Each structure stands twice: as structure tokens, then as C-alpha cells.
Structure 1
Amino acid sequence: MKDKAVVTGKLALTFEKRREKTRLVDCFQAPPLKASRTLYSEGDDQATVYLVETSGGLVAGDLNEYEIKLKEGARVCLIPQSATKVYPSYNEQTSKQKIMITLDKHTFLEWNKEEIIPFEQAKYEGSTLVRMEDTSTFLFAEIIYPGREKRGESFRYRMLSTQLQIWVEDSCWVYDPLKIFPEKMQIEKIGLLEGFMYIASVWVITPKLEWTENQLQALLPSEDKNHVVGVTNLKNNGLLVRWLSSNLPRIKKEIEQIFKKVKERI
């Protein structure tokens, strides 16, 4: 049976700076996706919005779409209220999520954290496309779970596919595809997951920093046999920090620390 995914949820948000604050000027919501009201920290012009998925997760054949647009000068933090849970596929159809982001000049977007939990027998395909100006800033974090490990479902899903593209002006800075088929791949081997449980990534694209080798090394947390992390410099105006780990609380804490360190320098 071929996939016949339909849009079961859509959330389209447009932000614009007005009267010294970032405002949510357009919001289209189709269940089960919703957005919270815009929140502000005291004295801050940045808009914080929580992304809500009211159905509890993606069922086989579902497609959720996000369209995020920031107009010139807008500053936004998006926070998923819960992880993306992917339910079993007993009908051979794939659960899909599509994110499209457009960042105009001098904008700032932080998306923290996109957590993906594929259940036993789940099939998931996710894609994120970012188109941004060279004066804008993008921070993105993602954690891929092995499944519901406390229920003995680690790597019992059928397929997981993610793809991130980041275009700065007309140049593709990031093309990062990942596909895992636990039943067909020896994921514990060198070059794959090597016995680790979680894959996590932080992407930072900003024109305001040039990363020296010492500054990159200062971002890196300590490692041990159950937790390894590496950093890659992207054209001096961006970086990737990636984890292979079996310690989920430690990953989350270190992602928060890296976001904090980066934002202090921007």
C-alpha cells in the first residue's frame, strides 16, 4: 500500500516587529496543531510561543505542516509543548512532519527542542527547510529517541528519516539527511550509533560570530564512554554540535548550556 498522507494539522505563523516588540501578526491553525498566545519576558522585545499538538502524536498516514515566517527585525523563540510521538504503522503508511521557515533580514529564531519518539513499528519522515538572509540568526536543537525504552521498545520502530536544509541567501549551508532502518541495519556498528541510544544536534547560524578553535572547544562538554560530543565549524558564521549518548538528562542540560553560551555572545 502506498503512502497517502493528508494534512491533518497545519500551523502557519507570521511575526513582525511593531512598536518595538515582535508581534504575531498572522496565525492559521488547523487541528491538531495550535499556537499559544505570545509571551514576553519583562523588558524583552522577543516573542515566545509554545507549539501545541492536541492529538498526542502522529498516527500512520498523518502529515503535520509548520510554516514559520519572520519579517525584518522580528525575534522569536518557539518551544514545542511536548515531544513528537510517532504511533505504530500497521497499514504500511508513514507519519510525516514538514517544517518550512523563512527568515528576513536581521531576524532571530530559536527552536528548542524538537524531540522525536518513534514507537514500536512506527514509520516517520521529517523534513525541515530554512531559507534565511545572511543577517539573520537561527538556533535549532533536535533529539532523536530510540523509542519508548522503558517499555522495551528501543529501536523497534521500522523506519526513521529526517532531513535538514539551511539556505543562506542562494547558498546551501546545510544538507543533513538521516535514515535509520533498525531491522535492516547493524546500528551498533562503528559509523552508525555504535551502541549509543540517542542522537542530538544543535545548529547555530549567525552573522555575528566568528568561531576560533579555542571558542569552539570551550563549548564542548566533557565526554565519557556513554556520552560523546563533537563540534563542526560552518564557514565561521555557524556551527554544529552533535551528540551520541545514552544519557538523556545530560544531553538536555548541555543543549541548554550551549544555547545560553551562544546567546550571551550574540
Structure 2
Amino acid sequence: MRETGLLSLEAKKRHARTKIHGYYEGAFKFTRPVRLDDDCLSVYLIHVGGGYVDGDTYGSTITLGEGAELAVTSQASTKVYKTPSKPVEQHTKIHLGADSVLEYFLDPLILYEGARFIQNTTIEMEPDAVFFYSDIITPGWSKDGVNFRYDWVRNKLKVYQNGKLVLFDHLLLEPDDELEGVLQLEGHTHVGSFVLFHPEASREFAEWLYENVFESFPDVRLGISDMEGGGIVIRILGDRTQTIERILSHIHTFARRELLDKGEISWRKY
């Protein structure tokens, strides 16, 4: 099966600076790298079409060599439209070498009426590598103003350290009478996630992060879990994309400052 879009990106550290090379074809592209500051080399992923439609398939591979540092984001939101015959599929594989740092922050996923979407993201990393990841899932505009016109979204995230599965996060949203109920979205419409792996991301750090977020956003619906091996998963429920974006940006900045000794990142998209 030929993908609608295919992308491969590799980053290596040479002479104390990260260099990248790769290729793309079809509806996927990436920009020339942009150095937003002395420490942060950034790449923007671009979808050249107007959105994802019935039967589209996308594949991407990102590889960071030892000591490489890279920040990856998208140019705009991912829009998934009606899929009457086959769901849209997006498969991403990420390989992180020793002492590498990847910050992977795509814009929100917007699901319109009749959309079905499968997203599989697999990360294979060394124990001392660093991985920051976030995503937002939001229902798209509908003519009658009713939420959850999409059919379903299945989002799987797997993280392996030294070949051992340390995280399997499977988020399935399938609109029905219970989606907004207890133990699901609990009356909310938007879901945000933040995942980080860092050797110093201990339970104490998770508690510190939790307290810091609530000082700035006392009304947020947020859950946080820590794992062995320096992993933390955060889930946010809300009703506005912009609100969740602000919270995720706050978490990202806090983690960058405390774990990477770096300042706030400015993507400069608009």
C-alpha cells in the first residue's frame, strides 16, 4: 500500500551542534531547520493538502543519534474530514539514541462529522534519552452546533526503553450517550495529553509539577501519573482548545526549565 504522505527525518550531533537530513514524498513535508535559540533546532511538519480524507495513510520516522537535540512541531492543526469507507491512519516511529532530546509537539487534532482516525506512535529510546510529547483532541465545527459528530478516534502511544515496554497509552473516544459521563470526558469536550521521559522525572518531580500547574490554573481538570524509569503522563479535560494549549505550554516551559535548564520555547508560527 502506497502512503498518501511519507516522511523520514534523522538528526545527528556533529561538532557540538545538531544537524538533520531526511526525505519526504506525497502530502507530507518538513521545513528547513530553524534555530530558535542557540540550543534549540526546530523542524516544522507540513501537510500540503487541506486535510485528511477517506482512506488516507501517513507514515513518518524520526531518528535522533547520540546527543542530538531536536524540537518538532506542525505548521497547523490536523483536520480529519468524513471517512465513509476507510478511516485515516497515521503511523509514527521514533528512535532516540543515548543522551538525545526530542520535544514533539503537534498542533491539535480536529475531527469533523463522520471522521474516523487511527494514530499509532511508537518510541524506542535509551534510558538516558529525553522525550517530551503533547497532543490535543477536539471535535470539529458542526452545522447544528452539536459536539461529537465524529465517529471515533483511536490513539495509541507506546514507549520502549532498552526494548522493554514501559508505557502503553491507548485513548479511544467513540461518541455515544456515555462519552461525556463519569470516567470518560465527564461533561467536557476536549482532551489534552502531555508525556515526558527524563532520568530525573521522579515521583517528587511529578508532585511538584502538579502543584505548580494548580497554582496557575486552579480550575483545571487534570490527572498525573508517574512511572518507573523517569516517566510522567498528564491528562487534561477541557472545553476550549486555547485553554488546553495554555496549560500544556505552561507544563512544557516548567519541564524545560527544571529538567533541561532551558527557557520557554517560542515556535513563531503566527
Same fold (TM over 0.5): yes
CA deviation after TM superposition for structure 1 residue 186, in Å: 1.9
Task: State the partner residue of 1:14.
Answer: 10
- The amino acid of 2:246's aligned partner reads K
Q: Which runs of structure 2 are paired with 1:112-191 in the superposition (5 Å)?
A: 112-148=105-141, 152=145, 154-182=147-175, 184=176, 186-191=178-183
TM-score normalised per structure 2: 0.89
1:217 and 1:193 mapped to 2: Cα distance?
20
Paired residues for 1:1-266 under 5 Å: 6-24=2-20, 26-44=21-39, 46-90=40-84, 92-148=85-141, 152=145, 154-182=147-175, 184=176, 186-212=178-204, 214-221=207-214, 222-224=217-219, 227-235=220-228, 237-266=230-259
**Matches of 1:122 and 1:260 in 2, distance apart?**
33
Q: Contact 1:11–1:65 at 8 Å: present in 2 too?
A: yes
Query: What residue identity is the alignment partner of 1:117?
Result: I
**1:53 is matched by which residue type in structure 2?**
H
How far is the alpha carbon of 1:181 from its aligned partner? 2.0
> Which segments of 5 or more consecutive residues in structure 2 lack a partner in the other structure?
260-270
- Contact 2:133–2:194 (8 Å) recurs in 1: yes
Shift of the 116–42 alpha-carbon distance from structure 1 to 2, 3 Å rule, reads closer
Cα distance, 1:216 vs structure 2? 3.5
> Is contact 1:6–1:62 with CA below 8 Å preserved after alignment?
no
SS of the counterpart of 1:250? Answer: helix
Shift of 1:235: 1.8
After alignment, is 249-258 or 209-218 more displaced?
Answer: 209-218
Give the drift of 1:112.
Answer: 1.2
* Mapped partners of 1:259, 1:149: distance in 2: 31
What is the Cα-based RMSD across aligned positions, in Å? 1.8
Number of positions where the alignment pairs a residue of Structure 1 with one of Structure 2: 256
Moved over 6 A (4+): none
> Does the CA contact (< 8 Å) of 2:8 and 2:60 recur in 1?
yes
Q: Structure 1: which 5+ runs fail to align?
A: none
Name the aligned partner's letter for residue 9 of structure 1. G
Relative to structure 1, the CA distance from residue 179 to residue 6 in structure 2 (aligned partners, 3 Å threshold; closer, same or farther) is farther
Whole-angstrom CA distance in 1 between matches of 2:81 and 2:207? 43
For residues 265 and 150 of structure 1, what CA distance do their matches in structure 2 show?
A: 45
What's the CA shift for 1:42? Answer: 4.0
Query: Would you say the 8 A contact 1:211–1:236 is kept in 2?
Result: no
Contact (CA 8 Å) 2:209, 2:251: kept in 1 or not? no
- SS of equivalent residue, structure 1 residue 17: strand
Q: Which moved more, 1:230-239 or 1:11-20?
A: 230-239
Secondary structure at the counterpart of residue 128 of structure 1? strand
8 Å CA contact 1:9, 1:64 repeated in 2: yes
Q: Distance in 2 between matches of 1:150 and 1:168?
A: 45
Amino acid at match of 1:22: T
Question: Is residue 220–residue 231 contact of structure 1 (8 Å, CA) maintained in 2?
Answer: no
Render the CA deviation track for 1:118-148: whole Å, top value 9, x for unaligned: 1101111111000000010000001000222
Q: Secondary structure at the match of 1:264?
A: helix
Identical residues among aligned pairs (%): 26
Q: Normalized against structure 1, the TM-score is what? A: 0.90
